[in-house]
C-alpha cells in the first residue's frame, strides 16, 4: 500500500479533561470497541485487581489517577487509531502540554454534573492556541447532572468554543432513556445493563414518526422533538472544514462507564478527524507525505517494565516512514543511530515493528541519548518547535536519605528529569540541588519512583522561591550584568542544560530586578526566540 494511503488511515489524538471526568474510562472503552482488549478495568474498583490498561505505574493504580501519558493503538474500520491518554491532574499538566504537540486532534471529556472545570479550561486554551480540532464528549449521563442546553452554553462561554451537538440525550440521570444520534439519524436506547455489550441502534430518519412514542414514551418523544427543533435552530450545521480549522466543535453525549454513546463518538471521529497534519520546524513546514523520515521526542518514560529497567523515548513520526535497523541522524548529537527493536503500542502490549508511518507513535529504547524535543531525520537539519519548559511553581531542596546509595540517587534524579517529571536546578554558590515542579504531588511520585525503581531514598526541604527566571544576557550591559550576578549570587543556579537561572522569591523581587537591571532580560519559559 502506498505511503499516502497508509498516512490517510492514521488518526492520532489526545484525550484531555479535569481529573475524574472519566477520561481513562473512555480510553478503555474505545480500546474495547476496537477489539484491542477483552475486558475493561474499572479504574477505581479495588475488587478488580486489573487496573485500567493505560495506567502503567503502581502509584497510578493506588491513587486511581493517571500521572503519565500513555500511548495506545488499535485498528477500527480499517483506520489505525493512536490514542494518547494524558494525566488530568493539574500537578502533571506539563506532561499533557508536551503531549499536545504530538496529536492531530483532541477529545475533551466533561462531567455532566460538574460541567466545565478549571483544568479543562487550561488545556483547551492550549489547544485553541494551536488550532487543534476538538470533539467534546459529555460523560456520565446515567448520573444526575446539568441540563444539556445549560452544558452546551457553559462549554461555549467558559471554553470559548463554538459547538454543534451531533447527538442529544433523551432524559438524564435516573430518567435517562438513551441518545438520539444526529450524525447518523438513529436512536440508541439505554438499558443500564450493557457494561460490556452495546444494544442495537434503531434507525430513525423521521422523529415525527409515532413509532417513537411507543419506543421511548409519549412525554420523552415530545421533549426530544422540541429539543431537536431548538438544536437545529440555534446551533450551526456541522462543517468539517470549520472543525478541522479549530473553529467548530462537535458535541456528543454518553456514559463511558456503561459503554454508552462511545460507538457513536468513535464512528464519527474516524470519519471526520484529521489524518496526520503538517508540522512547523524552525527551518520549514514538514508535510507527512514527504518520503523522507522525520520525527521528534515528546516524552521519555523510564522503567515502563520494572523488571528490565528500560527507558523508552516516545517519538511522533512527522513525515515519511521509520524503518527498523535503518540509521537516522540525531540532530542535537549530530550522530547516526540505528534501532533494532522499535516498539509500537497495541493496547497494553508492546510490539516490535519493522515499519511505521507518519502519524504513528513509536517507542525507542534509550540509553540516555534522548531528551524531550530532540529531532531525528534521514539527514536534513530540522528542529521541531514548541516543547518548552515552563517555570515551576513549587521548589524544594532534595537530600540524600541513604549515603550508601548516592550513585543510585544521582542516576535516578537525572533520568526522571530527562522524562520531564520535574526540573532540577543546581545552586551556583553551594552546589545544592533544587527540584522544581508544577504541582506538589510530583514530589511524592519522584520519592516513590526513586525508591522503587532505583533503590534510592530522598528527603526534601522547602526552598523559598516563587518562580524560575531564565536569564537572557545576549544584549546585557557588561557592567550591569556583573553587578546583577554579584548581588543575586545566592539565588543563581544552572538548569539541566547548564543555562543560568534566577530563583526569585516573589513577584515584587522580579519587578524590582527588572527595573534595576533593565538590560538583563528575565524569561519564564526555557526556550526564547
In the predicted structure, residue 304 carries a pLDDT above the cut 60: no
Same domain, 345 and 421: no
Could you tell me which residues come within 8 angstroms of residue 330 by beta carbon, excluding any fewer than 6 positions away?
336, 337, 369, 370, 374, 376
386 domain-assigned: no
Quick one: CA torsion of 473, 467, 131, 65, rounded to 10 degrees? 140
Same domain? 21 vs 107: yes
In a domain, 384, yes or no: no
Q: How do residues 327-346 score in pLDDT, each as one tens digit?
A: 999 998 899 999 988 888 76
CA distance 72 to 92: 19
Q: What's the total number of domains in the chain?
A: 3
Q: Which of 256, 272, 288 is where one domain is finished?
A: 272
Shared domain for 75 and 207, answered yes or no, is: yes
Comparing CA positions, the residue from 346, 256, 251, 267 lying closest to residue 23 is: 256
255: region left, alpha or beta (phi > 0 left; psi from -120 to 50 alpha): beta
Question: Quick one: angle between helices 218-234 and 148-159, nearest 10?
Answer: 30
Pair (364, 402) in one structural domain? no
Q: What angle do CA 284, 288, 289 make, to 5 degrees?
A: 110
| Position 389 in a domain | no
Helix (H) or strand (E) holding 461: strand 458-462
Q: Are residues 343 and 401 in the same domain?
A: no
Helix, strand or coil, per DSSP, at residue 426: strand
pLDDT at 298 over 90: no
- 227 and 174 assigned to the same domain: yes
Domain with residue 303: its CATH number is: 2.40.30.10
pLDDT in the model for residue 137: 93
Clarify whether residues 138 and 94 are in a common domain. yes
Q: Is residue 146 part of a domain?
A: yes
Q: What is the CATH number of the domain that holds 462?
A: 3.30.70.3280
Same domain, 231 and 353: no
Is residue 406 one of the residues assigned to a domain? yes
- Per-residue pLDDT tens digits for 52-99: 444 444 544 454 443 344 677 888 888 888 888 665 445 445 666 777
pLDDT band for 194, please (50, 70, 90 cuts). very low
Average pLDDT over residues 249-275: 88
Query: Is residue 386 a contact partner of residue 282, using CB atoms and an 8 Å limit?
Result: no
What letter would DSSP give residue 53?
A: T
pLDDT at 41 over 60: no
- HSE (side-chain half, CA atoms, 13 Å) at 484: 28
Q: What is the mean pLDDT of residues 402-428?
A: 86
Regarding whether 197 and 81 lie in a shared domain, the answer is yes
Which domain-ending residue is among 226, 243, 272?
272
- As given in the structure block, the three cell numbers for residue 191 are 438499558
Whether 428 contacts 493, CB under 8 Å: yes
Give the pLDDT of residue 181.
Answer: 84
User: Are 203 and 317 found together in one domain?
Assistant: no
| Containing structural domain, residue 495 | 394-523
**In this structure, is residue 382 part of a structural domain?**
no
In order, the DSSP letters of 64-99 are TS--S-EEEEEEETTEEEEEEE---SGGGHHHHHHH
Crossing angle for the helix pair 148-159 and 118-129, to the nearest 10 degrees: 60
Pairing of strands 294-302, 375-377: antiparallel
Range 23-41 average pLDDT:
67
The reply to whether 8 and 50 lie within a common domain is yes
Is residue 290, in this structure, part of any structural domain at all?
Answer: yes
Closest CA to 412 of 397, 396, 394, 424: 424
Domain check: are 310 and 450 in the same one? no
Amino acid at each position: 500500500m502506498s505511503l499516502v494511503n497508509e498516512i490517510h488511515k492514521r488518526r492520532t489524538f489526545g484525550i484531555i479533561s479535569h481529573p475524574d471526568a472519566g477520561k481513562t474510562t473512555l480510553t478503555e472503552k474505545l480500546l474495547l470497541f476496537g477489539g484491542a482488549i477483552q475486558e475493561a478495568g474499572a479504574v477505581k474498583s479495588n475488587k478488580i485487581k486489573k487496573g485500567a490498561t493505560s495506567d502503567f505505574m503502581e502509584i497510578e493504580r493506588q491513587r486511581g489517577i493517571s500521572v503519565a501519558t500513555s500511548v495506545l493503538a488499535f485498528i477500527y474500520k480499517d483506520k489505525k487509531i493512536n490514542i494518547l491518554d494524558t494525566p488530568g491532574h493539574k500537578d502533571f499538566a506539563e506532561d499533557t502540554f508536551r503531549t499536545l504537540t504530538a496529536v492531530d486532534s483532541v477529545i475533551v471529556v466533561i462531567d455532566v454534573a460538574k460541567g466545565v472545570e478549571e483544568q479543562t479550561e487550561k488545556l483547551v486554551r492550549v489547544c485553541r492556541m494551536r488550532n487543534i480540532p476538538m470533539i467534546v464528549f459529555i460523560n456520565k449521563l446515567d448520573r444526575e447532572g446539568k441540563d444539556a442546553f445549560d452544558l452546551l452554553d457553559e462549554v461555549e462561554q467558559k471554553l470559548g468554543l463554538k459547538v454543534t451537538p451531533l447527538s442529544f440525550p433523551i432524559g438524564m440521570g435516573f430518567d435517562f432513556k438513551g441518545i438520539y444520534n444526529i450524525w447518523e439519524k438513529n436512536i440508541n436506547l439505554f438499558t443500564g445493563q450493557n457494561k460490556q455489550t452495546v444494544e442495537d441502534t434503531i434507525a430513525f430518519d423521521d422523529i415525527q414518526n409515532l413509532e417513537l412514542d411507543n419506543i421511548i414514551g409519549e412525554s420523552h418523544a415530545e421533549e426530544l422533538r422540541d429539543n431537536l427543533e431548538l438544536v437545529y435552530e440555534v446551533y450551526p450545521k456541522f462543517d468539517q472544514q470549520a472543525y478541522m480549522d479549530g473553529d467548530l466543535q462537535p458535541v456528543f453525549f454518553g456514559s463511558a462507564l456503561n459503554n454508552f454513546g462511545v460507538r457513536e463518538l468513535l464512528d464519527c471521529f474516524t470519519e471526520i478527524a484529521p489524518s496526520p497534519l503538517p508540522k512547523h520546524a524552525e527551518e520549514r513546514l514538514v508535510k507527512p507525505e514527504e518520503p523522507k523520515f522525520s520525527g521528534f521526542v515528546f516524552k521519555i518514560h523510564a522503567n515502563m517494565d520494572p523488571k528490565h529497567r528500560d527507558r523508552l523515548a516516545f517519538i511522533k513520526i512527522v513525515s515519511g516512514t521509520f524503518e527498523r535497523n535503518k540509521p537516522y541522524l540525531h540532530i542535537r548529537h549530530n550522530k547516526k543511530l540505528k534501532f533494532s527493536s522499535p516498539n509500537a503500542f497495541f493496547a497494553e502490549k508492546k510490539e516490535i515493528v519493522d515499519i511505521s508511518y507518519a502519524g504513528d507513535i513509536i517507542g525507542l529504547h534509550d540509553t540516555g541519548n534522548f531528551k524531550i524535543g530532540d529531532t531525528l531525520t534521514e539527514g536534513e537539519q530540522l528542529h521541531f518547535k514548541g516543547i518548552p519548559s515552563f517555570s515551576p511553581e513549587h521548589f524544594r531542596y532534595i537530600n540524600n536519605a541513604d549515603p550508601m546509595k548516592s550513585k543510585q540517587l544521582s542516576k535516578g534524579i537525572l533520568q526522571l528529569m530527562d522524562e520531564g517529571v520535574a526540573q532540577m536546578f543546581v545552586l551556583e554558590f553551594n552546589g545544592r540541588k533544587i527540584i522544581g515542579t508544577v504541582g506538589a504531588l510530583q514530589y511524592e511520585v519522584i520519592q516513590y519512583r526513586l525508591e522503587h525503581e532505583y533503590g534510592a531514598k530522598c528527603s526534601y526541604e522547602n526552598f523559598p522561591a516563587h518562580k524560575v527566571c531564565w536569564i537572557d544576557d545576549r544584549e546585557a550591559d557588561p557592567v550591569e550584568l556583573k553587578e546583577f550576578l554579584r548581588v543575586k549570587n545566592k539565588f543563581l543556579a544552572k538548569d539541566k542544560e547548564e543555562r543560568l537561572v534566577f530563583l526569585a522569591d516573589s513577584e515584587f523581587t522580579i519587578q524590582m530586578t527588572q527595573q534595576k537591571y533593565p538590560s538583563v532580560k528575565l524569561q519564564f519559559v526555557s526556550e526564547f526566540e
